[in-house]
Amino acid sequence: MGLFDFLKKNKEENYVEIFSPLNGRVITLAEVPDEAFAEKMIGDGCAIEPSEGSIFAISDAEIDIFDTNHAVSFDLESGLEMIVHFGIDTVKLDGKGFERLVTPGDVKLGDELVKYDLDFIKENAKSTRTPVIISNMDDVEEIIVVAKGEVKVGDLLMKVKLK
């Protein structure tokens, strides 16, 4: 171990790892057909074009699930605040096509949170593209989207450096 190795280690520890909540293909927020997400008005991050399944926990966190089950908010111990918002205009489905599997509270990385009927949502919502966004950007110094192309639940999606 070199004299300054502890500095390198501390730099890496400043990054919070966020894991994929869905199976699908990683896309940019600009590819989401909603101005608020595409122009990063709500926050920054990336999006996933889902291929199947459920929404899973992106990290150990305290969660809340919107009444219509279309979005999950995450409060991480690091202070990072995130939202996984399944699809666009899915709030208008009033919970149809979604099944809540857990109650709000503490979850562990990889816990299954909400099941969704992808075919129903494709037919009844504007889009299934799912933003994975950081909502407290004032606390963020850097976002690195690590994943490219296809991802599976639990794959490293992004690294976030806090201020």
> Which residues, other chains included, contact 162 with Cβ-Cβ below 8 Å and sequence gap of 6+?
14, 16, 78, 79, 80, 139, 140, 141
85 assigned to active site: yes
For residue 78, which of 65, 104, 59, 56 has the smallest C-alpha distance? 59
Q: How far apart are CA 86 and CA 89, in angstroms?
A: 9
> Considering 80, 85, 97, 114, which one is annotated as catalytic?
85
Q: Report, as residue numbers or ranges, the catalytic residues.
A: 85
